Chain A
Amino acid sequence: MDWKIIENLMSKKLDIMINIFIFVSKIIYPKTGLIPPVMDIKEKRILVSLVSSVAIMAIYCFYVYYRFIHSNPALLHDLRFLGKWFLIMVPVAIVAQIIIQILLAIYLKVSGHDDIDPIEDERDKMIELKAIKISHYIFIIGFMMAMGSLGMGMKPSVMIFVLMIMGFLASVVNEVLRLWYYRKGV
């Protein structure tokens, strides 16, 4: 297959993703904007990871909804079904993320980004630690909410959904914070 076609396709998709993020960041930070005209390679990787994880989650949930739940809503309270849903979702998301990151690396290599900097130094570790710390807090809050739902006599399926949603939210916040710290400084 011609590399130029792949490069053009990926370039367009990356540009669309970056433009969506710039648009959102302009709404959140009207004065400065979170994303500058030029992003470094680490920020691009995080941005792609963020957008793809949201997209994978949305596509997978839509698929499960229309394939199974739409015809049989009672499945939403079937713990066995929810367990399978979650167990399959994790490896699917991991494999999809790996494939997307490999495609991104190929795109960056083909498009001649010579400033690819794979070195991870103390600043990267510091940023990662700070982001993980806050995302763990969010997950702990989610865990407490899940236990609270059980304590209030709600169905166990509610607990599972709260755990899933807060776990996903924690991972999104982790990546948004990493972008924030790369841009604003630690």
Chain B
Amino acid sequence: MGKAVISNNIRRLRFFANEMTQQELAEKTGGSRQTIVAIENGKYFPTLELAFRIAHAFQVPLDEVFTFQLATDPKK
């Protein structure tokens, strides 16, 4: 199976939401600012619940916040 690549559009969505700050997003999702920073930088992949909370904060579907791709294995 290929390697899973999960990326996110949180920075872009924050920009379009009146340049929402990371702290504001953290307060809306019930998490900490550090967690939002880690998610934005791809250092942490949130649980399904937090992922839905982030999508809900931006009023967009989940697949607009996170995108999933399977990287093809070059050996095959």
Contact = CB atoms under 8 A, between A and B. Distances in A.
Q: Do A and B bind?
A: yes
B34 A185 contact: no
Contact of A185 (B23, B26, B44): B44
Size class of the A contact interface (CB-based, 8 Å)? 10 to 19
B49 to A, nearest CB: 8
Given A117-B33, A117-B34, A122 B43 contact: no
Interface in B5-62: 23, 26, 30-35, 38, 41-44, 46-47, 49-50
Contacts of B41: 185
B35 A123 contact: yes
Chain A interface mostly: loop
A186 B30 contact: no
B38 A121 contact: no
B34 A42 contact: yes
A121 B31 contact: yes
Size class of the B contact interface (CB-based, 8 Å)? 10 to 19
B53 to A, nearest CB: 11
A20 B32 CA distance: 28
Given A185-B44, A186-B44, A121 B35 contact: yes
B30 A121 contact: yes
B38 A122 contact: no
Contacts of B38: 123, 185-186
Interface string A144-159: 0000000000000000
A185 B41 CA distance: 9
Interface in A8-30: none
A124 interface: yes
A38 to B, nearest CB: 11
Contacts of A120: 32
Interface string A118-149: 01111110000000000000000000000000
A169 to B, nearest CB: 27
Given A115-B33, A121-B50, A123-B34, 12 more contacts: A40-B34, A119-B26, A119-B30, A119-B32, A121-B31, A121-B32, A122-B49, A123-B32, A123-B35, A123-B44, A182-B34, A185-B42
14 contacts: A40-B34, A115-B23, A117-B34, A119-B26, A121-B30, A121-B50, A122-B46, A123-B32, A123-B34, A123-B46, A124-B35, A185-B41, A185-B42, A185-B44
List 10 A-B pairs, minimum CB-CB distance, nearest first: A185-B43, A121-B31, A123-B35, A119-B32, A117-B32, A121-B32, A121-B35, A40-B34, A186-B44, A123-B44
